[in-house]
Amino acid sequence: MSASPVSSLPNHGPSPSSSEIKAEQEFTTAFQDRLLLAGPNPRSRDFSLLMSVVKDFLVGFRALHFVGPCVTVFGSARYKEDHPYYVLARKMGAAISKMGFTVMTGGGPGIMEAANRGAKDVGGRSVGCNIILPFEQKQNPYLDRWVDIKHFFVRKTLLIKYSYGFVIMPGGFGTMDEMFEALTLIQTGKIENFPVVLMGKDYWIDLRDFLDKMIAGGTISPGDLDLMLFTDSIDEAIAHLEEKAVKQFKLRRARVPKENPLLGERGI
């Protein structure tokens, strides 16, 4: 058995107690990404972790194959339903649904809940990719279908895989990570030039200024921002998605693959 992450650290202070070591080992066991990213493991453990990743992808592929073309909404899990950004995200989810798209989120609370809730307000399809965490983030109650995913990078892949546009609501590290992952994939041609809408101009004003600084410094090209829209207007956001997603890719928004009941497949 390999050493625990705590016990293998250089000794720069008091040694951790047995209870601290046990708590760290229990947390690491529950949070498989900690094991996966902790450096070399025994071969059997690395193989087990690889199979866990494969299982995450298989579960996600089977569950989400029939949800139809999606627009994914990213944003903070911390906003409550009386917050203006929650209200805005709920309206945005409803507007996306009225376009004929399925609203996809990370499946949790806050902005994610608001967008999924907006979809259900107007009878639209609503799905989520919920991350399994040791402190048990639970899926919100406004989902037609969800998958519980162990690995963050698998979840991020699924959120991008089924989407033809991305709406970025105010959020923290996770939201920034998801947004820049999508932008990097667009910039490098790994995915099509799908539109990216950032809602809440005041919140993103410093980021917008920094992107201009990146252009001036030559680290990104002016064209890299062509499909990004900073706005407070739902109408403007929807028009942008219509022009840059629907018309550009000639989407049939209501198209959903036909499931095969013999394989245990089911639509929503």
CA distance 24 to 233: 46
Q: What angle do CA 233, 228, 175 make, to 5 degrees?
A: 85
Predicted confidence at residue 247, as pLDDT, reads 80
Residue reference for tokens 């820049």: 180
Mean pLDDT value of segment 147-155: 93
Mean pLDDT value of segment 174-182: 96
Residues 6+ apart with CB under 8 A from 36: 49, 53, 151
Of 2-11, 126-135, 139-148, least confident by mean pLDDT is 2-11
CA distance 105 to 163: 10
**In the predicted structure, residue 261 carries a pLDDT above the cut 80:** no
Q: What angle do CA 28, 181, 207 make, to 5 degrees?
A: 110
128 within 8 A of 112, measured Cβ to Cβ:
yes
Q: Where are the domains of the chain?
A: 18-56, 68-249
- Is the C-alpha dihedral spanning 56, 61, 62, 66 positive or negative? positive
**In the predicted structure, residue 218 carries a pLDDT above the cut 90:** yes
Mean pLDDT of the chain: 87
How many CA atoms, within 13 angstroms, populate the side-chain half-sphere of residue 138?
Answer: 3
Of 25-34, 87-96, 114-123, 172-181, least confident by mean pLDDT is 25-34
Which CATH number, 3.40.50.10810, 3.40.1670.10, 3.40.50.300, 3.40.50.450, labels domain 68-249? Answer: 3.40.50.450
CA distance 112 to 101: 16
CA distance 62 to 181: 23
* Closest C-alpha to 255, from 61, 95, 63, 67: 67
**In the predicted structure, residue 46 carries a pLDDT above the cut 80:** yes
To 10 degrees, the CA torsion angle through 79, 85, 90, 94? Answer: -150
Q: How far is CA 130 from CA 64, 66, 179, 220, 221, in A?
A: 13, 18, 17, 32, 34
Residues 6+ apart with CB under 8 A from 130: 106, 107, 108, 137, 138, 139, 146, 147, 148, 149
Predicted confidence at residue 5, as pLDDT, reads 47
> What is the pLDDT confidence band of residue 258, given thresholds at 50, 70 and 90?
confident
User: String of b and e for 36-49 (b: at least 16 CB within 10 Å)?
Assistant: beeeeeeeeeeeeb
CA distance 239 to 248: 12
